Amino acid sequence: MAQQDLRVGLIGYGFMGRTHSNAFRSVNNFFDLDRRPVLAAVCARNEERANAFAAQWGYESVETDWRALIARDDIDLIDIASPNDTHHDIAIAAAEAGKMVMCEKPLGRNAAESGAMVDAVEKAGVANMVWYNYRRVPAVTLAKQLIDEGKLGRIFHYRAKFLQDWTISADLPQGGEGLWRLDVDVAGSGVTGDLLAHCIDTAMWLNGGIDSVSGLTETFVKERMHNLTGQVQKVGIDDASLFLAKFANGSLATFEATRYARGHKALYTLEINGEHASIFWDLHDLHRLEYFDHRDEGQTRGWRSVHITDGDHPYMDHWWVPGLQIGYEHTFIHQAADFIEGLSSGTPAAPTFRDALATDLVTDAVLRSAQSGQWENATG
Amino acid sequence: MAQQDLRVGLIGYGFMGRTHSNAFRSVNNFFDLDRRPVLAAVCARNEERANAFAAQWGYESVETDWRALIARDDIDLIDIASPNDTHHDIAIAAAEAGKMVMCEKPLGRNAAESGAMVDAVEKAGVANMVWYNYRRVPAVTLAKQLIDEGKLGRIFHYRAKFLQDWTISADLPQGGEGLWRLDVDVAGSGVTGDLLAHCIDTAMWLNGGIDSVSGLTETFVKERMHNLTGQVQKVGIDDASLFLAKFANGSLATFEATRYARGHKALYTLEINGEHASIFWDLHDLHRLEYFDHRDEGQTRGWRSVHITDGDHPYMDHWWVPGLQIGYEHTFIHQAADFIEGLSSGTPAAPTFRDALATDLVTDAVLRSAQSGQWENATG
Amino acid sequence: MAQQDLRVGLIGYGFMGRTHSNAFRSVNNFFDLDRRPVLAAVCARNEERANAFAAQWGYESVETDWRALIARDDIDLIDIASPNDTHHDIAIAAAEAGKMVMCEKPLGRNAAESGAMVDAVEKAGVANMVWYNYRRVPAVTLAKQLIDEGKLGRIFHYRAKFLQDWTISADLPQGGEGLWRLDVDVAGSGVTGDLLAHCIDTAMWLNGGIDSVSGLTETFVKERMHNLTGQVQKVGIDDASLFLAKFANGSLATFEATRYARGHKALYTLEINGEHASIFWDLHDLHRLEYFDHRDEGQTRGWRSVHITDGDHPYMDHWWVPGLQIGYEHTFIHQAADFIEGLSSGTPAAPTFRDALATDLVTDAVLRSAQSGQWENATG
Amino acid sequence: MAQQDLRVGLIGYGFMGRTHSNAFRSVNNFFDLDRRPVLAAVCARNEERANAFAAQWGYESVETDWRALIARDDIDLIDIASPNDTHHDIAIAAAEAGKMVMCEKPLGRNAAESGAMVDAVEKAGVANMVWYNYRRVPAVTLAKQLIDEGKLGRIFHYRAKFLQDWTISADLPQGGEGLWRLDVDVAGSGVTGDLLAHCIDTAMWLNGGIDSVSGLTETFVKERMHNLTGQVQKVGIDDASLFLAKFANGSLATFEATRYARGHKALYTLEINGEHASIFWDLHDLHRLEYFDHRDEGQTRGWRSVHITDGDHPYMDHWWVPGLQIGYEHTFIHQAADFIEGLSSGTPAAPTFRDALATDLVTDAVLRSAQSGQWENATG
């Protein structure tokens, strides 16, 4: 296939800079697309590290000022993988410059920032997407298909958790390189924006809108050394965030995220119970979907552990042979493929900036409810 | 061992009448005790069924009026296994007659009833206990021991669910024989008193008191045929009940019970995350405890699936050999054994009526919060 | 129901004496039968222990000589739960005295002994049964039903293991009370007769006869202190026994038993792969059956974990409610119930002595093959 | 790092051509190496497909004759990913031309072919390796480390299975593109060389040499349409292959491979039981290692499910963050990295051609034993 170049300017070289680079670099090996991402430039303030990153991944050039990157004529797409407090300004500037924009989640640090970003991309009419990558886990995509086909029937319950345990030690500092997620000024919030946002994005994709929430947050370790100031400072983020929710479709939900659940590294789990069938999935075994169908014959009815590696499972015809599992980074490759297909087809792939704003409205409501002790409206 | 008889008068011949009868009948085969329960009488209004039950289990006599049973001199212990709306009157009368009293859970239909029952047994000074049997699942008892030994350290999170799916069909009637749990007048509440009460009893035993809750309840099927009236009537019970909780020790919790979770028959699960270690247990595989200890060597650290069948596991030296699991009814046998040992030792086995009252204070607060939309105090 | 007494004389008070006693004592509480076992007498050489056992279980009388027990007119059924080297003589004498005979497995120490026992019961025309209890695990019984219904189609593979780890320490002595299974003179063989026999009995019940085998045995610890002689002696039993097998139906199999598999207490597992469906079961989670049906819709096809606790599962309508599991000893209760129903119906419940002889022919062939290094015929 | 090019000439564009290409193309993104593979040429007889493959993966050039490829001066390394019947001639020619040689497994169609290949690379003194990729699953590599550290102690048992179900249908043809594994002339053997070879390679790496074997093979479907001849022909391969084995260290083993195990796509499992600890792993959840350590405290001793995603797990510091799993193709990337590191360090990475020959000696012995009905020596 004759392919058109899609010249990418990446901002940020951290964990997400790596997953995005891998996605752009590999997507054409596995998907037949009419555009081929080119790693045109990586941008970061630390030039030495940026150069090393460029060498590692094969970026053609390096920038140290994101405004310079946006100003370049040879860049088609700005991909934002820098800390949360940079998303708003970069995205708006990129949109105004007519660039396509992809942005790591959460979109902004709060719904106000996100709303402005939505306005900017929609006004500019540029392609845009937020990297809520878990929608593209094949098992989760299959869950979406099964729900849309009506396999579950009326939905009664949804529950999601995102459990980690990496900040239990009180000796862990906050802030700076690699730890900006613990610095409320940079991150905006704690696990609410970092982890619950993933759970909420998937939940609303699978089960529709959330009407209202009752939230509870806690900061277990109240003070930590700050890496940038060298001072022991008050911790501003939430360490744990839980909420009850009522969905528009009448179903009830519990959501929980924490970095204090010993034994869980990145245990994102979701379960949905319908009239006829139920689904369970977890990120620690992301290549499996647990499915229960009450319409199965009684004596042999049970939860089915579906190994999502067959050719008729979403995305899996692009990979290996049945039985051979894929991993985490593949979700980004799928998202890159869908984004490019959206450019070709004219139907933008989700989640767009606008889709992601809905998630931020819920996280804002959770934080508001945790303060007010009241149920809060989550629809903005 | 020379054993003294402990003459039992059972009220009720339903599901719980069977589990209690089995416990009393078998306990001395497996535990060395200085009293031996004697199945002296079973009491129920339906004489024919009571006779059949007596024949099946070997009860010496039958009564059809519980007041007559309580009046008998040859009965040491009244065991209440009849529907919830009978607990209050029977327990108080039995206590006033100087009988020991064992009562199925929940104690009363609400904390007001339960409080009066507590007053009665304490005033009378009679031995008393509530059948919160899940404390005596060996895996759960082991969890208690590990927590008390400090293996988990500071506790951050508790979560419990009790999921069933047997009332999803709108064609299921409410009320009457076998279905009184769906009749609010008899049951007092729906899953809150039936299922959440179990979760709360275990939770407070393992993790201490609950200070406050934010609750949410729902009745998915609003009207059902009532078996006693023959009319389609409003359903008064809650079909689902969820709440967030703050424990006195600063840990946070989610609780959920429902009869609308397709694929789950009696899935009571609990998880507790501490600073050093975490525990998970579920009723569908009750003979296993999942245990994670962060102090294990890093490379081989993982969740341990402990098969609770060894002689050094709680209660298990009374059963078979390592590897051979026990089942549900054994929890009642353990409770009967502990009750009798409590009589001998003078240290009453828990949960007493007073212990069970604490649970009813929480369930009342959950229902109150579901009405008020506010956090409610759960300590009475 | 008017029930006729079935007066049981039990020989042996060890582990199996307890499981059989419990079965006879409980069976009528859960099954409607026209006979009721009466614990008439227990027989053992050690009178003090026999008396204690009788008190624990409620036996009416005690004998110290099994010949005296057999001579009693008030005994209907002789139940043999004593070590393997006693089976042959007792069973033949009991049959000749016209008693019904139930015998712990393996039937004899070898096929020659077993053959004589079969002749005796058949000549006497007395009811007889061998306690291969795992046939009555509800999940295993369901497997049998599914196979018989043709759900699996043509069978290609069978595999079974029975893994334990309790004899790894070289300090463990052999012989005497509680350790006779390590004494070849008493036991006849090691894991071949103790563990493989279970696997073979189930396998031939589910999958038909075994034509030939290639076996391999090993004794890892060559010498152990003998408790009866006080001497360090050569160990005569096999510690591990493995074999390949060809079934009459053309399917291939691996079998393995060992007491040197660290981490496994009583892990009996079986798997059977058919053209259309496969089944897996293990004793450590005996209340589950894993079932895979290739005819399920492709996208949601997976191994179903069937929680064998519903009323339409074998035997389970006699127990509690869906979701509540039973344990190990229930298999003996089921077997006692089936034995009694066999008496009533005139169709003897399996496995009879003759059925059990077929298993001993296979274990003999395995041991023979382990010596010869050749494939050996297993059909006698 | 200044990197030297390593110019790769790949032969074959099938499933393995893709995994190898991906490995060469990605390895430097994740590993710091002093050589960088360059996709210099792909070679295949079908020019159109070879061109498409080259475009998909970015190969610089295409050859249709492997002899021409080997003759090129600009190729450093010949990578053989073509069907088994081509391995022998290509490898020897490549070695004679002084090229490094990597070869898909099995090395030859039998030990005679493999022996000649070993001689060729050793005589030429060229770097060589066989793609037994499962050694580089991080969980399997960790197993090797734990065994080498003595964590398991004396080994008693090894068991391995490789179960698939893709050839059950009798309508599946044999031979030709995508199905050459069913054609005995091309493949050499059936599941013995295709699947058991993997099991044997890992087993001998983990547990040392295999002394002797007793094998059993079967061809369930005796005739299939041949895609190349258009005729229904006798099937020459084995559909299932099982064997018992004695290791040099005294441990006993069962091995089994089949394509007739309904419900299993690529279920490679291995278990090893030692005096102190045991290990279990399976390919369907390749990112987990099950580990049991008897030295754990008794009450909480259990099988640990280790999620192999932490930075101190083999290879995992090159990937994402704890909790995020990798997939199948990563094993090839690891192998490519180790091969290149072996070039730099001068210590060749295993398995070399010589290592792989040992596996072929075992597979030959299995096939010989299946014919002879005798135990056969497996050490050549």
Q: What pTM value is reported for the model? A: 0.97
Report the share of chain D in percent with pLDDT over 90.
98
DSSP letter string, D263-316? T-SSEEEEEEEESSEEEEEEGGGTTEEEEEETTS-GGG--EEEEE--STTSTTG
Name which CATH class applies to B4-132. alpha beta
* Nearest CB to B278 within list A159, A263, A276: A263
In contact, A380 and A212? CB cutoff 8 Å: no
pLDDT-derived band at B380 (thresholds 50, 70, 90) equals confident
Largest separation between any pair of C-alpha atoms in chain B: 66
* The pLDDT of residue C2: 67
Terminal CA-to-CA distance of chain D, rounded, Å?
Answer: 45
Contact D310 B298 (CB under 8 A): yes
**pLDDT at residue B84, rounded to an integer:** 96
Q: Is A135-377 in CATH node 3.30.360.10?
A: yes
Q: What is the pLDDT of residue C88?
A: 98
Residues of C whose CB is below 8 A from B166: 322
Among C156, C195, C249, the strongest candidate for a mutation testing the D interface, having the largest count of D CBs within 10 A, is C156
Query: Parallel, antiparallel, or unpaired: how do β-strands B210-218 and B100-103 relate?
Result: unpaired
Q: Which of A29, A284, A310 sits opposite D22 (nearest CB)?
A: A29
- Identify the band that residue B97 occupies on the pLDDT scale cut at 50, 70 and 90: very high
Query: Could D264 and A19 be called an inter-chain contact, meaning their C-beta atoms sit closer than 8 Å?
Result: no
Q: What is the mean pLDDT of residues B161-190?
A: 94
Class of residue B186 by CB neighbours under 10 A (exposed 0-12, middle 13-18, buried 19+): buried
Q: Using CB atoms, list chains with 3+ pairs below 8 Å to chain A.
A: B, C, D
Phi-psi region of C263 (alpha: psi -120 to 50; beta: other; left: phi over 0): left
pLDDT digits (tens, 9 = 90+) for B186-240: 999 999 999 999 999 999 999 999 999 999 999 999 999 999 999 999 999 999 9
Lowest mean pLDDT among A2-6, B83-87, C22-26, D230-234: A2-6
Cβ contact A298–C306 (<8 Å): no
Rounded to an integer, the average pLDDT of C60-85 is 98
Res C380: pLDDT? 86
Nearest to C260 among D159, D165, D273 (CB): D273
Helices A47-57 and A15-30 cross at an angle (nearest 10°) of 20
- Omega prior to C106 cis, within 30 of 0: yes
Nearest CB to A373: which of B261, B275, B374?
Answer: B374
Could you tell me which CATH number the domain at A4-133 has? 3.40.50.720
Instruction: Please give the pLDDT value at position D176.
Output: 87
Quick check: C65 pLDDT over 80? yes
> Residue A187 pLDDT > 90, yes or no?
yes
> Given C258, C263, C278, which is nearest D292 (Cβ)?
C263
Describe the crossing of helices A197-207 and A353-372 by its angle, rounded to 10 degrees: 120
Reference A257, options A210, A214, A193, A201; nearest CA is A193
CB contact under 8 A, B263 and A273: yes
Question: Tell me, what's the pLDDT at A177?
Answer: 83
What gap in Å lies between CA B228 and CA B236, rounded to an integer? 15
The answer to whether the Cβ–Cβ distance between B302 and D298 falls below 8 Å is no
Is B300–D291 a contact, with Cβ atoms under 8 angstroms apart?
Answer: yes
- Residue of A259, A282, A287, A333 best to disrupt the D interface, most CBs of D under 10 A: A287
Given this model, what pLDDT does residue B3 score? 85
Q: Does position A1 have pLDDT exceeding 90, yes or no?
A: no
The reply to whether residue C301 touches residue A306, judged by beta carbons under 8 angstroms, is yes
Nearest to D25 by CA among D329, D349, D344: D329
Class of the CATH-defined domain B134-377: alpha beta
What residue in A sits closest to D54 (Cα-Cα)?
A29
Q: How far is B89 from chain A (nearest CA, A)?
A: 36
Round to whole Å and give the CA distance between D303 and B210: 33
Q: How far apart are CA D155 and CA D250, in angstroms?
A: 8
Buried b (16+ CB within 10 A) or exposed e, C147-180: beeebbeebbbbbbbbbbbebbeeeebbbeeebb
End-to-end alpha carbon distance in chain B: 45
**Predicted pLDDT of residue C363:** 98
Instruction: Give the model confidence (pLDDT) of A49-104 as tens digits.
Output: 999 999 999 999 999 999 999 999 999 999 999 999 999 999 999 999 999 999 99
pLDDT digits (tens, 9 = 90+) for C261-276: 999 999 999 999 999 9
* Structural domain spans, chain C: 4-132, 134-377
The rounded distance, in Å, linking the Cα atoms of A147 and A138 is 14
CB-CB: which of C168, C292, C373 is closest to D262? C292
Query: Which of chain D's residues have a Cβ under 8 Å away from the Cβ of C294?
Result: 165, 262-263
Q: Which helix (H) or strand (E) holds B145?
A: helix B138-148
Nearest-CA distance A215 → chain B (Å): 8
Which residue, among C58, C60, C52, C40, has the nearest Cα to C14 in the 3D structure? C52
Which of B299, B307, B316, B325 should one mutate to test binding to chain D, selecting the residue with the greatest count of D CBs within 10 A?
A: B299
The segments of chain D whose pLDDT lies below 70 read 1-2
User: How many helices, marked H, and strands, marked E, lie in chain C?
Assistant: 11, 17
User: Count of CB contacts below 8 A, B vs D?
Assistant: 58
For B190, residues 6+ apart whose C-beta sits below 8 A from its C-beta are B181, B182, B184, B217, B219, B237, B238, B239, B241, B259
> Residue D284 in contact with residue A325, Cβ under 8 Å?
yes
CA distance A373 to chain B (A): 6
One-letter amino acid at A345 equals S
pLDDT tens digits, C147-170: 999 999 999 999 999 999 999 999
Chain D: closest CA distance from residue C157 (Å): 7
Chains B, C: CB contacts within 8 A come to: 98
Q: Which residues contact B323 (CB under 8 A, 6 or more apart)?
A: B307, B309, C164, C264, C265, C266, C267, C283, C284
Distance from C-alpha of C73 to C-alpha of C60, rounded to nearest angstrom? 15
Query: Following DSSP, what letter does each residue of C86-151 receive, concatenated?
Result: GHHHHHHHHHHTT-EEEEPSSSSSSHHHHHHHHHHHHHHT--EEE--GGGGSHHHHHHHHHHHTTS
**D52: Cβ contacts below 8 Å, ≥ 6 apart:** none
Largest Cα–Cα separation, chain D: 66
Find chains touching chain C: ≥3 CB pairs under 8 Å.
A, B, D
Q: Which residues of B touch A294 (CB under 8 A)?
A: 165, 262-263
pLDDT score at A2: 67
Q: Is C320 in Cβ contact with B328 (below 8 Å)?
A: yes
Q: Which residue of B has its CA nearest to A375?
A: B373
DSSP-based three-state secondary structure for D20: helix
Test A323 with D57 for CB contact under 8 angstroms: no
Q: B2 falls in which pLDDT band (50, 70, 90)? A: low
Contacts of B142 in chain D (CB under 8 A): 299
